[in-house]
């Protein structure tokens, strides 16, 4: 009964003559407000009487008696009305949107387990840690819940490096580890773009190319096996000493690498390059 009454009233309001009276603030916006209120009634959030009161109408009024709100005048809404204010208050809607984004922005999270198959003592981490020795003595399985990580064999980001993306690693062979020793880790921030310049000599001499995509084989693409300096302009990359993303790994964050020692390598051998991206 209530819905039928609302339908009749909405139709009557939409057909009401405008004459020379001001509208709120134009016919389209007025109609949108009427229809949004009708939706609120259907969801049982606004009583029918409140809708009619807001628009200055009642079920017995004639079409010519419709009140139209001049531009710039706020509609009176009683405290008990649960009218959605997002349509009338763009600032509030924008603020709620920002809060929603912040609430759903995931933090990087990784869990280390002392035994294989995610057994034994475990430790959760969500940021860089230069020394993990105080939390566990060995690491035989890892679960990456979010983000990308670089793990290091020794404290203070030294030794062998292992790049991990979101997923389960039930034993250290799954991350191409040489042992169960993990002593430090870095959380790698997300970036939407990647760019790196490669040079065949140190100190940025002999520009080879600029990459924005993964390269599975440096030799096949550039006929080179060695890269002596690099300039990471955007995003983070992982350098592999062998093609197809195999062998020793080195994290390249935005910055200057004038010699191969700067990225921690013992020689200039480069087999492949991959962007740090969370593909899930």
My answer on whether 143 and 182 are in the same domain is yes
Range of the domain at 212: 195-275
CA pair distance 45, 118, nearest whole angstrom? 49
My answer on whether 200 and 155 are in the same domain is no
My answer on whether 144 and 119 are in the same domain is yes
pLDDT exceeds 70 at position 153: yes
CA pair distance 140, 113, nearest whole angstrom? 6
93 vs 10, more confident: 10
My answer on whether 199 and 181 are in the same domain is no
User: What pTM does this model have?
Assistant: 0.62
pLDDT exceeds 70 at position 200: yes
In a domain, 93, yes or no: no
- pLDDT at site 17: 55
In a domain, 62, yes or no: yes
- What number of CA atoms fall less than 13 Å from residue 157's CA on the CB side? 14
Give the end of a domain, one of 145, 169, 188. 188
Beta bridge partners, 188, equal 148
Give the end of a domain, one of 145, 171, 188. 188
Q: Do the Cβ atoms of 151 and 182 come closer than 8 Å?
A: yes
In a domain, 77, yes or no: no
What CA dihedral angle connects 161, 162, 164 and 170, to 10 degrees?
A: -140
Residue 278 pLDDT grade (very low, low, confident, very high; cuts 50, 70, 90): confident
My answer on whether 209 and 249 are in the same domain is yes
- pLDDT at site 70: 43
Give the end of a domain, one of 131, 162, 188. 188
- pLDDT at site 14: 53
In a domain, 83, yes or no: no
In a domain, 102, yes or no: no
My answer on whether 202 and 267 are in the same domain is yes
In a domain, 176, yes or no: yes
Structural domains of the chain, count:
3
Q: Do the Cβ atoms of 184 and 132 come closer than 8 Å?
A: yes
pLDDT exceeds 80 at position 132: yes
My answer on whether 210 and 262 are in the same domain is yes
At 146, which CATH number?
A: 2.60.20.10
Beta bridge partners, 274, equal 238
């Amino acid at each position: 009964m209530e819905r039928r009454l609302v339908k009749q009233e909405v139709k009557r309001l939409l057909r009401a003559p405008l004459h020379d009276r001001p509208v709120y603030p134009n016919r389209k916006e007025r109609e949108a407000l009427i229809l949004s209120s009708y939706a609120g009634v259907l969801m049982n959030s606004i009583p029918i009487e409140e809708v009619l009161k807001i628009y200055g109408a009642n079920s017995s009024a004639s079409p010519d008696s419709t009140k139209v709100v001049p531009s710039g005048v706020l509609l009176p809404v009683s405290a008990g009305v649960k009218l959605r204010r997002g349509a009338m208050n763009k600032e509030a809607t924008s603020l709620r949107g920002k809060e929603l984004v912040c609430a759903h922005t995931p933090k990087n999270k990784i869990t280390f387990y002392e035994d294989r198959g995610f057994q034994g003592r475990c430790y959760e981490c969500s940021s860089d840690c230069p020394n993990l020795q105080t939390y566990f003595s060995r690491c035989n399985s890892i679960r990456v819940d979010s983000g990308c990580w670089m793990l290091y064999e020794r404290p203070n980001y030294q030794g062998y490096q292992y790049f991990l993306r979101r997923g389960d690693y039930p034993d250290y062979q799954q991350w191409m580890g040489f042992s169960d020793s993990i002593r430090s880790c870095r959380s790698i921030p997300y970036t939407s773009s990647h760019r790196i310049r490669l040079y065949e000599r140190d100190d940025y001499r002999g520009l080879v190319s600029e990459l924005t995509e993964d390269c599975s084989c440096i030799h096949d693409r550039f006929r080179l096996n060695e890269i002596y300096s690099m300039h990471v302009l955007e995003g983070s990359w992982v350098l592999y000493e062998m093609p197809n993303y195999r062998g020793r790994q080195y994290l390249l964050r935005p910055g200057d690498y004038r010699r191969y020692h700067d990225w921690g390598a013992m020689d200039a051998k480069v087999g492949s390059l991959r962007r740090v991206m969370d593909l899930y």
